[in-house]
Amino acid sequence: MNLQAMGAIYSFEMARARRTLMQSIISPVLSTSLYFVVFGAAIGSRITEVEGISYGAFIVPGLIMLSVLTQSLANASFGIYFPKFTGTIYELLSAPVSYLEITVSYVGAAATKSIILGFIILATAALFVPLRVEHPFWMILFLVLTSITFSLFGFIIGIWAEGFEQLQLIPLLVITPLTFLGGSFYSIDMLPPFWQTVSLFNPVVYLISGFRWAFYGIADVSVGVSLAMTLAFLGFFIAVVAWIFRTGYRLKR
């Protein structure tokens, strides 16, 4: 294991986050704060409680997941796409660094940034609403697993994309709608039976449900199912990344 090379890639990606602090940290936190103001004040005044939890507190896990998912995708996809765009990826591929080390470095840096952002948003949320975390270990576990899973997904998107438009295509047209429809701002139990069944085909439902359970002990689906689905998504993306490096898909021209 070439720890020096991994550390160099990881440090470079983390340094890029510090150089773009406004985009990486401040902007997502401000956006999430606006959600608290708009949804917490406007909708929260009409929906006082959801399953015994104040509406403002109820949406906190969903808002954290919304930011973590989008930032994991963005950080990882841009991190690997930019070397492709500039042509420096060929130097990386020819260096004495294995595919595993490349993946761990880029995905690790993207996941680290997302986890830090998640905790910052959690601290920010505590300024707006009273919070409690009943299962802190599970909260951290779901946060870490989700960050790694969607950083892997972003890594795949960065390799697949052939332009900046494609880089934004899946996050904007697929992930963001799924997140909004995945129970970020409501419990799927509030939906009619048909739409409850449809919602179960949305993978983000399981992520948000498990994460919310770690806070308040309430969930739309069993926490065991949520954990199993999260691990299944993680395993799937690991398999896709392994296939990409084995075949050289969109890496070797």
| 253 part of a folded domain | no
Count of the separate structural domains present in the chain: 1
Confidence of residue 44 (pLDDT cuts 50, 70, 90): low
pLDDT digits (tens, 9 = 90+) for 78-114: 989 988 888 777 778 787 888 889 999 999 999 999 9
Contact residues for 43 (Cβ-Cβ < 8 A; gap 6+): 55, 185
| 117 part of a folded domain | yes
* Whole-number pLDDT of residue 55: 85
* Whole-number pLDDT of residue 97: 85
| 184 part of a folded domain | yes
Task: Report whether pLDDT(253) > 60.
Answer: no
Confidence of residue 45 (pLDDT cuts 50, 70, 90): low
Task: Report whether pLDDT(250) > 80.
Answer: no
| 150 part of a folded domain | yes
pTM score: 0.91
How far is Cα of residue 49 from the mean position of the Cα atoms in its chain?
27
Distance, CA of 30 to CA of 27 (rounded, Å): 5
The pLDDT of 209-220, averaged and rounded, is 94
| 77 part of a folded domain | yes
* Whole-number pLDDT of residue 236: 96
* Whole-number pLDDT of residue 154: 94
| 252 part of a folded domain | no
Residue pair 215/192 in contact by the 8 Å Cβ criterion: no
Distances (CA, A) of 141 to 145, 147, 148, 209, 227: 6, 10, 11, 13, 9
The pLDDT of 46-73, averaged and rounded, is 87
Give residue 112's domain range: 3-247
How does the average pLDDT of the chain come out, rounded? 88
* Whole-number pLDDT of residue 175: 87
* Whole-number pLDDT of residue 31: 81
Distance, CA of 177 to CA of 162 (rounded, Å): 23
| 89 part of a folded domain | yes
| 20 part of a folded domain | yes
Q: What are phi and psi of 155, to 5 degrees?
A: -60, -40
* Whole-number pLDDT of residue 41: 64
pLDDT digits (tens, 9 = 90+) for 136-193: 999 999 999 999 999 999 999 999 988 888 888 888 888 888 988 898 888 898 889 9
Q: Which of 22-26, 76-80, 120-124 has the lowest mean pLDDT?
A: 22-26
